[in-house]
Amino acid sequence: MQAYKLKGKIDPSGNLLITEPVNLLPGDVEIVVWQATEMLDNTTTPTSEPAPETPKRKSRIKAFQGLFENAPPFPADFDPDQAKWEYLKEKHNL
Protein backbone atom coordinates (compact mmCIF):
# COMPACT_ATOMS: atom_id res chain seq x y z
CA MET A 1 0.00 0.00 0.00
CA GLN A 2 1.38 3.41 -0.97
CA ALA A 3 0.68 6.49 1.17
CA TYR A 4 0.24 10.04 -0.15
CA LYS A 5 0.10 13.30 1.75
CA LEU A 6 -2.31 15.82 0.22
CA LYS A 7 -3.67 19.21 1.19
CA GLY A 8 -7.39 19.79 1.42
CA LYS A 9 -10.20 21.71 3.07
CA ILE A 10 -13.55 20.98 4.65
CA ASP A 11 -16.27 23.18 3.16
CA PRO A 12 -19.12 24.63 5.26
CA SER A 13 -21.38 21.69 4.35
CA GLY A 14 -18.80 19.21 5.73
CA ASN A 15 -17.44 17.86 2.43
CA LEU A 16 -13.73 17.12 2.01
CA LEU A 17 -12.16 19.00 -0.92
CA ILE A 18 -8.69 18.01 -2.16
CA THR A 19 -6.98 21.28 -3.17
CA GLU A 20 -4.16 19.78 -5.27
CA PRO A 21 -4.07 17.42 -8.26
CA VAL A 22 -3.82 13.69 -7.57
CA ASN A 23 -2.08 11.32 -9.99
CA LEU A 24 -3.58 7.98 -8.91
CA LEU A 25 -5.12 5.14 -10.81
CA PRO A 26 -8.93 4.91 -10.55
CA GLY A 27 -10.16 2.69 -7.75
CA ASP A 28 -10.99 2.59 -4.05
CA VAL A 29 -8.90 4.59 -1.58
CA GLU A 30 -8.73 4.77 2.19
CA ILE A 31 -8.61 8.27 3.70
CA VAL A 32 -7.06 9.33 7.01
CA VAL A 33 -7.61 12.98 8.00
CA TRP A 34 -5.55 15.13 10.40
CA GLN A 35 -6.77 18.64 11.01
CA ALA A 36 -4.08 21.30 10.59
CA THR A 37 -2.56 22.40 13.91
CA GLU A 38 -3.44 26.07 13.32
CA MET A 39 -7.12 25.15 13.38
CA LEU A 40 -7.07 23.08 16.60
CA ASP A 41 -6.24 25.65 19.28
CA ASN A 42 -9.08 28.14 18.98
CA THR A 43 -10.02 28.29 22.67
CA THR A 44 -9.24 31.29 24.84
CA THR A 45 -8.65 31.50 28.57
CA PRO A 46 -10.81 33.94 30.56
CA THR A 47 -8.79 36.86 31.94
CA SER A 48 -10.45 36.68 35.37
CA GLU A 49 -8.54 33.48 36.28
CA PRO A 50 -4.89 33.70 37.30
CA ALA A 51 -2.51 31.95 34.92
CA PRO A 52 -1.33 28.55 36.19
CA GLU A 53 2.38 28.04 36.93
CA THR A 54 2.76 25.44 34.21
CA PRO A 55 0.59 25.20 31.10
CA LYS A 56 -1.87 22.34 31.17
CA ARG A 57 -1.58 19.79 28.41
CA LYS A 58 -5.08 19.04 27.23
CA SER A 59 -6.23 15.91 25.47
CA ARG A 60 -9.35 15.49 23.41
CA ILE A 61 -9.39 11.81 24.45
CA LYS A 62 -11.10 11.52 27.83
CA ALA A 63 -9.08 8.47 28.88
CA PHE A 64 -5.83 10.49 28.70
CA GLN A 65 -7.00 13.76 30.32
CA GLY A 66 -5.81 12.95 33.85
CA LEU A 67 -2.54 11.50 32.55
CA PHE A 68 -1.50 14.67 30.75
CA GLU A 69 -2.76 17.10 33.39
CA ASN A 70 -0.90 15.33 36.23
CA ALA A 71 2.31 14.55 34.33
CA PRO A 72 5.41 16.41 35.53
CA PRO A 73 6.90 18.87 33.02
CA PHE A 74 9.96 17.68 31.13
CA PRO A 75 13.23 19.65 31.32
CA ALA A 76 14.00 22.28 28.68
CA ASP A 77 17.15 20.42 27.58
CA PHE A 78 15.28 17.12 27.02
CA ASP A 79 16.32 15.39 23.78
CA PRO A 80 13.76 12.78 22.64
CA ASP A 81 16.20 11.15 20.21
CA GLN A 82 18.80 10.72 22.96
CA ALA A 83 16.15 9.24 25.27
CA LYS A 84 15.12 6.75 22.57
CA TRP A 85 18.76 5.77 22.01
CA GLU A 86 19.33 5.25 25.75
CA TYR A 87 16.20 3.08 25.93
CA LEU A 88 17.24 0.96 22.95
CA LYS A 89 20.78 0.53 24.31
CA GLU A 90 19.36 -0.75 27.60
CA LYS A 91 16.74 -2.95 25.95
CA HIS A 92 19.14 -4.65 23.54
CA ASN A 93 22.19 -4.67 25.83
CA LEU A 94 24.26 -2.53 23.46
Per-residue model confidence as pLDDT tens digits over 53-66: 555 666 677 777 77
pLDDT at 58: 64
Phi, psi of 12 (to 5 degrees): -55, -25
Structure-derived torsion over alpha carbons of residues 50, 52, 58, 64, reported in degrees to the nearest 10: -130
pLDDT at 70: 75
The answer, yes or no, to whether residue 27 has pLDDT greater than 70, is yes
Q: Which of 42, 38, 34 is closest to 5 using CA atoms?
A: 34
The answer, yes or no, to whether residue 43 has pLDDT greater than 60, is no
Q: Across the strands, what pairs with 61?
A: none
Confidence of residue 50 (pLDDT cuts 50, 70, 90): low
pLDDT digits (tens, 9 = 90+) for 74-94: 888 888 899 999 999 999 988
Structure-derived torsion over alpha carbons of residues 1, 5, 63, 50, reported in degrees to the nearest 10: 170
Q: pTM for the whole thing?
A: 0.34
